[in-house]
Structure 1
Amino acid sequence: MSKRETWATRVGFLVAAIGSAVGLGNLWQFPFKTAGNGGAAFVAFYLIAVLLIGFPAMLAEFVMGRRTNRNAVDAFTELGHRQWRILGAFAVVTGFWILSYYNVVGGWVLRYIVGSAQGAYFSAPAEYFGAVSAGPEAIAAQLVFLGIVVGIVALGIEDGIEKATKVMVPSIVVLLVMLALWAVTIDGAGAGYAYFLTPSLDAMVENASTAIPFAVGQAFFTLSLGMAIMITYSSYIGADDNLLFDGGTIVIVNTLIGILAGLVVFPILFANNIDPALEGGAGALFVAVASGFGGLPFGELIGVVFFAVVALAALSSAISLMEVTVAWANDNFDISRPVLAVGIGLALFVLGLPSAWDTAYLTWFDNMAYQLLLPLSVLLLVLFVGWVLAGDAVSELRQGAGSLGSFGPIWMWGLRIVVPLFVAATLVLGFQTMFLGEDPAFFAPF
């Protein structure tokens, strides 16, 4: 078995974890989950979900990873609960499932960087998206994106993931801030800000049944929960790290970047009289926002910068998703990391072929992840930490953080009662949408 790696620095862990969280969930999903579920009403539900569900669940994953220094499957054995290993396996499979279609979207992003420089999609954005999003061209782009991810993961924790994310994450923040400052100058930006940032109680009530499941799923997706990422990343840190501080930092930075993304996207849409509520689906970012660049001065340059940000975010998350499976294999088989990365990459490529061939399958894969796999994975994990690990989890959280005061018991009872109730309700709503609705989403691509 290969010697297990660690992060070179605490900053390296924080940046990598932030990079995992700051991905397509923020830049691809968040603006258009917002648009399709009541605008600012969805943002309000999302912020509540992050605070009450996402943050406690993240700490639960941190506790498991650091206490065992093992991958998400073997962590349960290390804790003396081998019979629960199926939970870890389910989380690993969920991450693998998501990465299979995530690579396809990453390939789209690479195509759009080139397309932006050429102004290729300005005259007919929907037709351009249709040409590059499915079929042989999408498969080729998926392979290029996946090749970059495999290359970074193959280099290891310190030399690959840590060094790459230390460049990617600051670049994402700087470029996104620049774009947000530029967006202020666009005529009509105020209407975009109002739509995005001004919730109304009526809109929240009207959109609650559809918005809440997506808001909770968005919190899981964008914080990299339920995919075993945070268990895996925290397994490489030491006992002196303050998990409470680290988790809070990741949640705050990730949420701010999601808000920044909205402050860029919605002014562009409203400045070009594009109704975001009508531009849903997997291609929303690429059709609606891309069409907006064509009507702006220096649209080619703005497009290149925007999709470069999206590409960096996609890569930083994709490498974390791949590391979950590589970590499990690296802990259990005497095979070099580069060989494991290539083998796992080939398996991901095969699973991603349906999503690359037809966007209907990609939407189906995404709905399965958002509405079923992620909520179920998070629900089972928090129940394990809250009711089985229990006091040991509080003790582990206290390591490096000193006395928790009343937070420890509050956090524990939140994991036992509050978080499971919210997640279970989300899971029920997701199940109804997938299997029992007027047009059940489970059967949509078939």
Structure 2
Amino acid sequence: MRYFPPRPPSSIIPDYALLQFSQFYFSTYPAMSHSSSWSSKIGFVLAAAGSAIGLGAIWKFPYTAGTNGGAIFVLLFVIFTIIVALPVQLAEFYIGRTGGKNAIDSFKTLRPGSLWPWVGRIGVAACFILLSFYSVVGGWVLNYVVHSFTGEIAPNVDFGALFEKTISNPTSSILYQGLFMLITIWVVKGGISDGIEKANRYLMPALFILFIVLAIRSLTLPGAMEGVSFLLKPDWSKIKSETMLTALGQAFFALSIGVSAMITYASYLGKDQDMFRSGNIIMWMNLLVSLLAGLVIFPAVFALGATPSQGPGLIFVVLPAVFMKIPSGNYLFAVFMMLVVFATLTSAFSMLETVIAATIRQDERKRSRHTWVIGIAIFIVGIPSALSFGVWSDVLIFNKSIFDLWDYIITAIIMPLCALSISIFTGWIQDRQSVLTNAGMGSTVPKTLLYLWLGALRYIAPIAIIVVFINSLQII
């Protein structure tokens, strides 16, 4: 399962979830003794949702659904997100909030003198590497926003050639990668409440508003209902083992688990925060964005005669061509790419914060300097990935480009193994009663659901993760 492509080619939210979200928005809790904390309950929810809602939801979900049967894939994705991904995310919340420190020190607090802190160390290292090549894709997206306003996105343009030109140009690739990292550094150096939380308070609502506007426009196109049917009306004949594994893998990555980001964000939580309600809202927000992405893309694709199974080039190659057939399409495409920028940045914030939190060790006086130093280091490490689509495209390691190699190591190996370790740690290593007591603090969740969560961590999640891991290694 991959977040990113190899070298590019030439559900409805329940009423109770909406009620919970509205109750969250203006509620606050007292400051923690932690050197940094969320200033409000909604701050954590928006930031954690932003971490999860990245390229996985807006880029990967639509093209993966398009190549795996549409609605049947969506249905499987929703089911697996609820029964597999959510329990592991809640386990990360438990570790972070109970440990109350960064991803490494939280494990040390919960299991002193053991090897378990290495799970945190590996997760932090994974965030460092992941952001180094994630920022490359973020740079492409920023570049496309500029393309939209400079006339390069226009009718009769060869968008395949434009994409190839964009990613193979070493100067612009590095320049826009650097700009993406500069924005990320600027926000994260402001800390939790003044930086990440404040940015997400604006970016996440803007993302939803723009998505709804674009979805309405897409749904009003002639023939759009065919795209809606493709997305929401399951064709049961398309259930295959490969589709199930792909949906399971998408669910696994959908909630940003396995790289210690959720442990880090949860370490800033107060003990009175209902982490189960927060997790539920975050999950439904992620599912909603994924479905909105589908409602923006597939009605337009079907209405204008394109094919949904276009693969990773869907938003860079197919969508520009689709939007150019709509009145004011270049501006609508610019709005869509701004959505992708917002989603990409909110994920990047969590990756950089995970690394920063592990290095400053709760000493906020070090934050600004460490953020600049580490952010620049990540940018430098990412340069070979940026060049691997152009001047260094012939540099192959184990028959993979530099970008593809990092992608494979992080998403196919480290993320599943870390998520498996977190499931085992919470479900089997920690004292069961202690887990239930600490996880249930501030929560009104019935004990039955707490036991079901622990059961999912012990049995369902590990088996599912192992299956995804083996599949990602192409053994099955």
Q: TM-score, normalised to structure 2's length?
A: 0.86
CA contact (8 A) 1:150 1:345 kept: yes
| Match for residue 131 of structure 1 among 141, 157, 165 | 165
Matching residue of 1:293 = 323
- 2:370 corresponds to 1:340: yes
Mean alpha-carbon deviation: is it higher for 98-107 or for 158-167?
Answer: 98-107
Q: Report the secondary structure of 2:442's partner residue.
A: coil
- 2:459 aligned with 1:422, yes or no? no
Equivalent position SS for 1:369: helix
Using a 3 Å threshold, how does the CA distance of structure 1 residues 199 and 403 change in structure 2: closer, same or farther? closer
Structure 2 residue 440 is the aligned partner of structure 1 residue 398: yes
Contact map agreement 1:272 1:295 (CA 8 A) in 2: yes
**Which residue is 2:115 aligned to?**
83
Tell me by how many angstroms 1:65 deviates: 0.6
How far apart are 1:361 and its partner, in Å? Answer: 4.1
1:40-439 maps to which residues of 2 (within 5 A)? 40-81=71-112, 82-122=114-154, 123-134=157-168, 135-205=170-240, 208-209=241-242, 211-277=243-309, 279-281=310-312, 283-331=313-361, 336-359=366-389, 361-389=402-430, 390-402=432-444, 404-432=446-474
Shift of 1:363: 4.2
Could you tell me how far 1:347 is from its partner in structure 2?
2.1
Q: Which residue of 1 aligns with 2:11?
A: none
CA contact (8 A) 2:261 2:354 kept: yes
Give the whole-Å Cα distance in 1 for the aligned partners of 2:194 and 2:232: 40
- Residue 242 of structure 1: how far off its partner (Å): 0.6
CA 152–219 in structure 1, closer or farther in 2 if over 3 Å, else same: same
State the distance in 1 between where 2:441 and 2:363 align: 31
Contact 1:213 1:430 in 2 (8 A): no
- How far 1:28 moved relative to its partner? 1.3
Residues 358, 37 of structure 1: alpha-carbon distance in 2 compared, 3 angstrom cutoff: farther
Determine the C-alpha separation between the residues in 1 that align with 2:135 and 2:433: 39
- Structure-1-length-normalised TM-score: 0.91
- Provide the C-alpha distance between the structure 2 equivalents of 1:245 and 1:100, rounded to a whole number of angstroms: 32
Q: Which has the higher helix share?
A: 1
Give, in whole Å, the separation in 1 of the partners of 2:419 and 2:117: 14
More deviation, 112-121/23-32: 112-121
Q: Deviations over 1:331-383 (max 9, x none)?
A: 17786211111121122112322321134543443344333222211111111
RMSD: 1.9
Deviation at 1:139, TM superposition (A): 1.2
Q: CA deviation at 1:403?
A: 5.8
SS of the counterpart of 2:473? helix
Q: Distance in 1 between matches of 2:350 and 2:46?
A: 12
The aligned amino acid for 1:79 is L
* Residues 1:22 and 2:53 are matched in the alignment: yes
Deviates more, 1:372-381 or 1:401-410: 401-410
> Match for 2:336: what amino acid?
F
Partner secondary structure for residue 311 of structure 2: coil
- Displacement after TM superposition at 1:101 (Å): 1.5
Tell me the distance in 2 between the aligned counterparts of 1:333 and 1:165.
Answer: 23
Distance 1:271 1:186 in 2: 6
Farther off after superposition, 339-348 or 147-156: 339-348
Residues 42 and 215, structure 1, Cα contact 8 Å, conserved in 2: yes
CA distance in 1, matches of 2:246, 2:381: 24
Deviates more, 1:310-319 or 1:346-355: 346-355
Closer, same or farther: CA 321–214 of 1 in aligned 2, 3 Å: farther
Is contact 2:36-2:362 (8 Å) kept?
no
Whether the 8 Å CA contact 1:214–1:371 is kept in 2: the answer is: no
Which stretch has the larger CA shift, 247-256 or 22-31?
A: 22-31
Residues 175-230 of structure 1, C-alpha deviation per residue, up to 9 Å, x if partnerless?
Answer: 1011111111112212211222222222112xx22x33432332232211111111
SS in 2 for 1:406: helix
Q: List structure 1 runs of 4+ shifted beyond 6 angstroms.
A: 332-335
8 Å contact kept, 1:136–1:357: no
The whole-number CA distance in structure 1 between the counterparts of 2:267 and 2:447 is 25
Query: Do the aligned residues in 1 keep the contact of 2:34 with 2:268 (CA within 8 Å)?
Result: no
CA contact (8 A) 1:71 1:324 kept: yes
1:443 is matched with none
In 2, Cα distance between equivalents of 1:395 and 1:341: 35
Q: Counterpart of 2:237 in structure 1: which amino acid? A: D
Q: Are the counterparts in 2 of residues 217 and 374 from structure 1 also a CA contact under 8 Å?
A: no
Contact 1:27 1:258 in 2 (8 A): yes
Whole-Å Cα distance in 2 between the matches of residues 136 and 221 of structure 1? 31
| 8 Å Cα contact 1:4-1:331 kept in structure 2 | no
